[in-house]
Chains A and B, each alone.
Chain A
């Protein structure tokens, strides 16, 4: 069993480590719905990847980053409430993505695999990509930490104090797009937001500082990956949902432990 699990565990742990601090910002900036929308757009990214003959991750990353830029632009126009805008864009891109993937008969793309993920099929080649991507992503987040935290607390004060709000926000959105691109194979489109939100929410009651919450979110996510994979292999269950269920369990436990 340990050999079967080694690659999925490594992939899941890397992803959870990266998504923890991102999830903290999703929590603080109330971006859960945005995360969901971004994940929906990933399906169009898959279609784009197939059409362009590039890797699916690259397709997802490009489409997700474009999606984030489009949402930011739409928000600045102030014509629609953000949730309406996100709803239109998210479901629009999801639907177009589904149609395009279905049209492409030659591809052996399994929709269920895209929606629910398939961490057990992770290969060594996936890890070669995942390891540098998550490491770079985390390093970028550490570099962005202070200005990003400052503008999350108050955008106007941050701007007055010299934070380049537009550039920092764009960089953060790019990291979100990267996370989505990496997560599709592991937890699937439908459960990406869960991996962002739930570990961060579980860490919330046990931390006294923003950094503590971010690290706690990584640890909670990693614990969920380990627990979920063990459960999935033991009972032959899909891994993505098993990871999320364990994460929810951790969140409920954190409610009991809080002071």
Chain B
């Protein structure tokens, strides 16, 4: 496997991107990059433009100003939710096959990878939020993405499940070596599992390694006490685990397919 140098061309590069809707500036001159094997997290209050920024990064919206560059390669997109009309009888298996060619075996393997192997024949609209998020993640993985983009991957997931979800995302990053851009407002959980944090409030208020950001006055003023608590939780976990080196351990066996 190739060395993932920190200064390779980024998978995703936003260069002072601005976007307005109905005369209101939603995203203001935001620049960010996501490199291979890197987990970048956007945090910020509701309505700060996170989802819009993700849509700009994906090319689902066109920026008014600035430039979005994506390296060629598949982008796996996991939206906040899919609203499948309850009148559509769709199994998880069929849902997965809509996105990618590949038989039942590939679907089963992708589901196993996200810890949802039992759901293969379940109906899509019977899934809980957490299950549905895992299935969406499996559909993205089936396409072997170079870049994974997840919008609020733990929205509607219970607290225990939220930590699991972030650990899963990091594990996938490790095994696939893909870059990850994720959006969140769960401060403390995100802090542990991410390489770089960007605080967004229409513009980027502060950014950097989680530790640095959580001490940034901008961050503290945005999140106040909740932010300080996040720091406490983060620091505690960091003392006991040495998994945050940022190194990418690509496994030789290609995720057991």
The answer to whether A and B assemble together is yes
In the assembled complex, which residues on chain B have CB atoms less than 8 Å from the CB atom of A149? 98
CA distance A204 to B90 in the complex (A): 11
Q: Is A209 in contact with chain B by the CB < 8 A criterion?
A: yes
Q: Is A213 in contact with chain B by the CB < 8 A criterion?
A: yes
B99 in contact with A210 (CB, 8 Å): no
Looking across the interface, which residue of chain A has its beta carbon closest to that of B95? A153
Q: Is A159 in contact with chain B by the CB < 8 A criterion?
A: yes
Q: Please, what's the 1-or-0 string for A155-166, where 1 marks a CB less than 8 Å from any CB in chain B?
A: 011011100000
A28 in contact with B79 (CB, 8 Å): no
Looking across the interface, which residue of chain A has its beta carbon closest to that of B139? A157
CA distance A150 to B88 in the complex (A): 12
CA distance A110 to B117 in the complex (A): 61
Looking across the interface, which residue of chain A has its beta carbon closest to that of B123? A208
CA distance A251 to B201 in the complex (A): 51
Q: In chain B, residues 13-56, which have Cβ atoms closer than 8 Å to a Cβ of chain A?
A: 55
Q: Is A91 in contact with chain B by the CB < 8 A criterion?
A: no
In the assembled complex, which residues on chain A have CB atoms less than 8 Å from the CB atom of B83? 154
A161 in contact with B91 (CB, 8 Å): no
Closest chain A CB from B180 CB (angstroms): 15
B75 in contact with A160 (CB, 8 Å): yes
B98 in contact with A153 (CB, 8 Å): yes
A27 in contact with B85 (CB, 8 Å): yes
In the assembled complex, which residues on chain B have CB atoms less than 8 Å from the CB atom of A132? none
B79 in contact with A153 (CB, 8 Å): no
Closest chain A CB from B153 CB (angstroms): 15
In the assembled complex, which residues on chain B have CB atoms less than 8 Å from the CB atom of A208? 89, 91
A159 in contact with B60 (CB, 8 Å): yes
Looking across the interface, which residue of chain A has its beta carbon closest to that of B58? A160
Q: Is A212 in contact with chain B by the CB < 8 A criterion?
A: yes
In the assembled complex, which residues on chain B have CB atoms less than 8 Å from the CB atom of A29? 85
CA distance A208 to B90 in the complex (A): 7
In the assembled complex, which residues on chain B have CB atoms less than 8 Å from the CB atom of A159? 60
B residues at A contact (CB < 8 Å): 55, 58, 60, 75-77, 79, 82-85, 87-91, 94-95, 98-100, 136, 139, 143
**Would you list 10 pairs from A and B whose C-beta atoms are within 8 A, ordered by A residue?**
A27-B88, A150-B99, A153-B90, A156-B60, A157-B77, A160-B58, A160-B77, A161-B143, A209-B90, A209-B94
A residues at B contact (CB < 8 Å): 27-30, 146, 149-150, 152-154, 156-157, 159-161, 200-201, 204, 207-210, 212-213
Extra 8 A-B pairs, beta carbons < 8 Å, given A153-B90, A153-B95: A27-B85, A27-B87, A153-B98, A157-B82, A161-B99, A200-B87, A204-B89, A210-B88
